[in-house]
Amino acid sequence: RVQRDGVPPSFDEMKEALDLRSKSGIHRLITALEERGFIRRLAHRARALEIVRLPESLGGEARHSFSPRVIDGDLSDAPRPANAQPVEVAHAFEVPLMGRIAAGVPIEAIAHVQHNVSVPSNMIRGAANHYALEVRGDSMIEAGINDGDVVIIRETSVADNGDIVVALIEDQEATLKRFYRRGNAIALEAANPAYETRLF
């Protein structure tokens, strides 16, 4: 819009272009771009965004040149930390990766084993069945669950308010959300303000 009309887009236009449900996500993006030195906001003016520099991927200049250095050394004689266990002794469980789970808009439930993932034994609680799912979407980012993460799920038939659950919707679609009881309804709440709470 700046190149075409010489005017930055409004927050509503940015929200629509990025297919977001609210302007709060745009506010966070603008703040992040400003903090990183890509744009500058001009106070007390509408549509007052000035592009300061472009990212390298769009032809901008690199601000910091980073070149890794390898430090040579021989750690074979280094003392072992007091509580360290050899890798062979560390206990891990093989947990089946059952497919993908939506952290956003529900996706069709997938219930077939793709392969197994190793999980440290201290992450597995009790004798319940556990399985892994790969996360697709960004609705749980404020809970630290990002697109592409693998989550470990403990199978149970009960959930407490505030638990993060895999919810099966109409026996067809599965989604990862926080669970709350609200009267006679069940609320599935995202950990991202761009997504609305769904009531069932």
Taking CA atoms, 53 is separated from 8, 40, 42, 111, 195, in Å, by 15, 10, 15, 47, 31
Q: List the one residue out of 33, 60, 38, 63 whose CA is nearest residue 51.
A: 38
SS3 28: helix
Whether 23 is a known active-site residue: answer no
Phi, psi of 142 (to 5 degrees): -75, -5
Taking CA atoms, 168 is separated from 113, 115, 179, in Å, by 18, 22, 12
Q: How far apart are the first and last CA of the chain?
A: 41
- Selecting among 15, 67, 139, 157, the annotated active-site residue is 139
d(CA 188, CA 171): 16
Whether 15 is a known active-site residue: answer no
C-beta separation of 180 from 198 below 8 A: no
- Kindly list the catalytic residues: 139, 177
